[in-house]
Amino acid sequence: MEVAGMRKASSHASMAAAAADPDDFDLTRMLNHRPRINVDRQRSFDDRSLAELSISGTASRGGGGGGYPAMMESYESMYSPGGGLRSLCGTPASSTRLSFDPHPLVFDAWDALRRSLVCFRGQPLGTIAAVFVRDFVPSALAFLMNGEPEIVKNFLLKTLLLQGWEKRIDRFKLGEGAMPASFKVLKDAKRGGAERLVADFGESAIGRVAPVDSGFWWIILLRAYTKSTGDLSLAETAECQRGIRLIMNQCLAEGFDTFPTLLCADGCCMIDRRMGVYGYPIEIQALFFMALRCALLMLKPDAPEGKETMDRVATRLHALTYHMRSYFWLDFQQLNDVYRYRTEEYSHTAVNKFNVIPESIPDWVFDFMPSRGGYFVGNVSPARMDFRWFALGNFVAILASMATPEQAAAIMDLIEERWEDLIGEMPLKISFPAIESHEWEFVTGCDPKNTRWSYHNGGSWPVLLWLLTAACIKTGRLKIARRAIELAEARLARDGWPEYYDGKLGRYVGKQARKLQTWSVAGYLVAKMMVEDPSHLGMISLEEDRAMMKPVLKRSASWTV
């Protein structure tokens, strides 16, 4: 197992006492025992990529040299230019000993991030205003990379307790494994101003859609915490083991599915408004894949139902690996093949397995697809292929090794070849291209927020910078990351850290973009810290397990008379 080099810490106190009233549970019970942990920094990115890195103060692609160990030694105090700024909740300050001069923007970013902290009964728990699970991930990674894991532990524990709440929308009860989309800390006037949590499982969301991605992000973040701190005890508690199993059970439940992918409603992920991503969106499939792999690493076979769950996860991974790499991947050759597809093919010998009609290929794809490069398309389902590019799903595919090394390199080639389209003047397009005119009307329902080249419809989101940077490090393409970070540094602080940018090139601050957006701040910080210390990538990257992920090819099911 990947954590074999870490000394096992003693287990935490039980959370069972919280079952009756989660609001009355004191997080300090889980935090008062702080085991000494021997952390073995594991390199979790491609050896080939590491061999191409030459680091002398900062990382760079190419040449040899022995800069990496020296940098690691000087960096051991952790990167905390804002360490002298105490949060309102008393988050511990980290050392400010640095071996390089950070960009002035880093100080401002740490100041903004610390000022955004939310506390619950004296413990830092997340960042303002409502603590969205997906939104907090880059902030959590920033704190982990900065040597401040307590807030991440608090967050993981409290969301785990919220998972145990009864979840109803109108008269319908949600599955046990569902994690909240967000929660707020409110003061109860009837209880003398006592603080309580109010969770949203989708009942307050636009369209009343449950967040499919929240549980996946929770598992991924739990693994990042374990990888960063070396503390195995949190993931191995009975409560965390149960939380992982509940999420897995909800995703792996048998039904009428003929594909290993997850069927989802529109608006169930970061794109949380109607944008035509219903069906099998790449973002959910990539996160599902990564969560399956993280769960397999953290589940204990000797725990209740542990071995059974692990077997189910491994079986699903085999099928999902083959499906995604075969049917969602698009490059020049595959596009040409789809263009020449025959239709109305029956039986297991069909080449056009999803009956995609070649005439449904949009014109823009032929110009967008370079001869060198490729990507995972947005959606594949019967008679439908969404050819749009979605950044989050493609970068997570690289980090989770859902993409083969060749496919990962092709995605980065596409970024270089189509820089103006996907990066422009502000990284990074959440989707490409924008939908407009009559298509915009019937796909979005005339959504006034998702107009062309705005918000989720081709808008540029600085938070995605950390995912781009992580993918660049894993594939040995740091030049791309540095160039994108420089673009962001030229605008972000001056524009007030906006949520997103509008326009084909991302030139304009979004028409409804919130300023001082926490995850824009955190996304920049995480990107910056990973470039300065690429070993941080190990928190959120998984190498391919060839033995486990080798597809098991079986003949398609057919009737025999």
Give ∠ CA 267-140-68 in degrees, rounded to 5.
Answer: 120
Banded model confidence at residue 233, pLDDT cuts 50, 70, 90: very high
Q: Where are the domains of the chain?
A: 217-548
Retrieve residue 65's tokens. 């040299």
Domain 217-548 is in which class? mainly alpha
Percent of the residues in the chain that have a pLDDT greater than 70, as a whole number:
79
Rounded-to-10 torsion of CA 313, 315, 316, 318:
120
Q: What is the per-residue pLDDT across 312-357, written as a single tens digit (0 to 9) for each?
A: 999 999 999 999 999 999 999 999 999 999 988 887 888 889 999 9
Strand partners, 508: 502
Q: How confident is the model at residue 101 (pLDDT cuts 50, 70, 90)?
A: low
pTM of the model: 0.81
Reduce the DSSP state of residue 495 to 3 states and report it.
coil
- The pLDDT of residue 382 is above 60: yes
Residue 392 and residue 428 in contact, taking contact as beta carbons nearer than 8 Å: no
CA 218 to chain CA centroid, nearest Å: 10
pLDDT above 50 for 52: no
Nearest CA to 457 out of 424, 426, 435 is that of 435
pLDDT-derived band of residue 17, with 50, 70 and 90 as boundaries?
Answer: very low
- What number is the average pLDDT over the span 145-168? 90
Instruction: Give the pLDDT confidence of 72-86 residue by residue, as tens digits.
Output: 333 233 333 333 333
- 79 vs 134, higher pLDDT: 134
Paired strand residues for 502 = 508
Ordered DSSP codes for 498-542? -S-EESTTS-EE-TTPPSS-HHHHHHHHHHHHHHH-GGGGGGS--
